[in-house]
Structure 1
């Protein structure tokens, strides 16, 4: 890409970094992106897709497959702490410390190239997806009736990966990122005076056993699984009163949707048994559910060839990543490839308050996606 185009993408990335919006509230971000795409030669577009999402369609002159390239609109409810940059977040308590600002810049750059040179055959769809961080955006986009008009034969996405050499392409066929879900378990007894605890029904013992029991659940599952207790609360701060309620929250992970669901089943069984043992009421809720991301062999082969043709430095991952990506839901609907783009060995980890997407890898991401398009649509 020419220098003026790269500089404009860097400026866009830094602008988006200053004005992040949390999941489901990305209206201003979407408006900014749409203003840019209105200047491009787009054949069809969709706004408000899955609430705030955007999709831009570039048509080829001959029939052919449809490929989709996705990025994310949302930021995180994390206070940025990075005094070394001039483009830090202007929105208190919200930041782009996952790199979605950079991913949007990459897809915008791809749109600029497609505007100048349409695919020879088929269609290319550029999707700006909302609410990735909460695991709700992909489902909302796919459930939107208009998505049937652009249902792709292939879907591609990338995620920057700290801890890998800058510009390195990280590939893995099959399971790439974990399935996960958040579980909240509420135990309900009743209060009494702390001088007469026998008159109440404290969930303290059940809560303690629940925390320990949840973290031991993976021991009974042969495949990789992980339970991380992220929050626990017992009663209120009142020294004259025994606790009447407790809540335990945990994240359940597995490399397949089946393992994630098995963890949910066993966590539910553990909670029900403890509630019954201690004569407590019970309420269980699930939230932020992410499907496993599964890279299709054909789509992976296309990505691998693209990297080879560009003489990229590639790394073949041996194990799936433990984190989850909302892109995983597309894996259940079409042939997908999610690959990693190294963002530096010394780069702070994703979601750390000092993370800032490196502008140097914007062009690398655009080049990879453009080469994939050439392989599919030329």
Structure 2
């Protein structure tokens, strides 16, 4: 593994930054402390321009290389935490109840800071490196807000790269899927409005809870009996809310969940069948049922040529035996997809130690990934903006 010597020498600082961010997690669009630390570090590293408040709490830094070229390569990291109570027992565990960096965005932020420091110190590239610290990746639309506020109009960019930690891969393993790499996502809400009654006289009700429970079962057939076996689509009901008393049949019940897809056709099919099921249940039970669905993430599309460049950079950092081009996309979603719709680029996964999956209260990011990720992000800039 060939971690940049300058980054290896700064590993202790990276660990300190990471542990501090981990101990002070902030939910999407509330990353005020994190953004302040990021901006202060960028200025201390000698980054040429530091811009704050983009997309709420987003931060952008511009680093000019030794050459006079006008091309720009972007690097992006997300900063937000999740509404989870941490259960790791780490000495640097979350100090904020109900908030935890259970997806490793604290690590992503640290890695990009490490890359910014290296690039500002060495400047061995011809053009401009742009570092983008994005808020609110976890379903709150941080990328879209940055784009809506003119991210790439204010800071034109030729190509952009990102990465995500992967606790399910061996430390230092880098993988990437060309083309459709991660699923698009819809979130849906279903509200059943029935008629409540005394629990001792349920015949006087139109039981919203029973109707909602029936819908949960019916929704499981949307994929299994409608989506062709050669296509990929996931429909998951993740919430059910109804009732507040032991002796009352509730008048209303709410369901919520997500659709994951790789083609608009499959997304539209799933939405249409769910809407039909709701209409049918409303007619069958004599109640009102509202179905609403809205897009949260687009399908993440990795540019083929830039994916090859990213894989080449990874081979120089971790070695060819630890780099792979996967063919199976992930059904998880990532709002970096929105940036890739505007600017071509690529997104990879980097393995680290740990035995807990993402979004788990016991998730621990292996700190050995920090200099690896920082080196990978730095190297892709140098390769895409070569001097001479």
- The alignment's TM-score, normalised by the length of structure 2, stands at 0.91
User: Is residue 192–residue 208 contact of structure 2 (8 Å, CA) maintained in 1?
Assistant: yes
Number of aligned residue pairs? 375
Instruction: Look up the match of 1:352.
Output: 360
User: Is residue 82–residue 100 contact of structure 2 (8 Å, CA) maintained in 1?
Assistant: yes
CA distance in 2, matches of 1:370, 1:111: 8
CA distance in 1, matches of 2:42, 2:29: 21
CA distance in 1, matches of 2:297, 2:203: 43
Instruction: Look up the match of 1:177.
Output: 182
* Alignment partner of 1:35 out of 34, 40, 45: 40
* Alignment partner of 1:265 out of 264, 272, 294: 272
Structure 2 counterpart SS, 1:80: coil
Instruction: Look up the match of 1:281.
Output: 288
Relative to structure 1, the CA distance from residue 329 to residue 262 in structure 2 (aligned partners, 3 Å threshold; closer, same or farther) is: farther
Instruction: Look up the match of 1:63.
Output: 69
Aligned-residue Cα RMSD (Å) equals 1.9
Instruction: Look up the match of 2:79.
Output: 73
CA distance in 2, matches of 1:80, 1:242: 35
User: Which region of structure 1 is more displaced relative to structure 2, 256-265 or 289-298?
Assistant: 256-265
User: Which region of structure 1 is more displaced relative to structure 2, 68-77 or 247-256?
Assistant: 247-256
CA distance in 2, matches of 1:123, 1:260: 38
User: Which region of structure 1 is more displaced relative to structure 2, 135-144 or 276-285?
Assistant: 276-285
Q: List structure 1 segments (4+ residues) > 4 angstroms apart after TM superposition.
A: none
* Alignment partner of 2:148 out of 143, 147, 160: 143
CA distance in 2, matches of 1:236, 1:353: 28
Relative to structure 1, the CA distance from residue 53 to residue 288 in structure 2 (aligned partners, 3 Å threshold; closer, same or farther) is: farther
User: Is residue 73–residue 101 contact of structure 1 (8 Å, CA) maintained in 2?
Assistant: yes
Cα offset, 1:198, TM superposition: 4.3
Query: Are positions 1:291 and 2:298 aligned together?
Result: yes
User: Is residue 161–residue 342 contact of structure 1 (8 Å, CA) maintained in 2?
Assistant: yes
* Alignment partner of 1:114 out of 105, 119, 123: 119
Cα offset, 1:226, TM superposition: 1.0
Cα offset, 1:205, TM superposition: 4.6
- Measured against aligned partners, the alpha-carbon deviations of 1:239-293 in whole angstroms (never above 9, x if no partner) come to 2x33211111122111335433432232222212222332222333446711111
CA distance in 1, matches of 2:218, 2:373: 43
Query: Are positions 1:235 and 2:243 aligned together?
Result: yes
1:1-378 equivalent positions in 2, closer than 5 A: 1-2=5-6, 3-60=8-65, 61-83=67-89, 85-118=90-123, 120-219=125-224, 220-222=226-228, 223-239=231-247, 241-286=248-293, 289-310=296-317, 311-312=319-320, 313-344=322-353, 346-378=354-386
User: Is residue 175–residue 256 contact of structure 1 (8 Å, CA) maintained in 2?
Assistant: no
Relative to structure 1, the CA distance from residue 257 to residue 51 in structure 2 (aligned partners, 3 Å threshold; closer, same or farther) is: farther
Structure 2 counterpart SS, 1:131: coil
| Stretches of structure 1 lacking an aligned partner (at least 5 in a row) | none
Cα offset, 1:89, TM superposition: 1.1
Structure 1 counterpart SS, 2:44: coil
- Measured against aligned partners, the alpha-carbon deviations of 1:86-134 in whole angstroms (never above 9, x if no partner) come to 2111111111121111111110011111111335433211011000012
User: Is residue 306–residue 375 contact of structure 1 (8 Å, CA) maintained in 2?
Assistant: yes
User: Is residue 119–residue 373 contact of structure 1 (8 Å, CA) maintained in 2?
Assistant: no
User: Which region of structure 1 is more displaced relative to structure 2, 272-281 or 361-370?
Assistant: 272-281
CA distance in 1, matches of 2:81, 2:218: 34
Structure 2 counterpart SS, 1:63: coil
CA distance in 2, matches of 1:327, 1:261: 22
- The alignment's TM-score, normalised by the length of structure 1, stands at 0.93
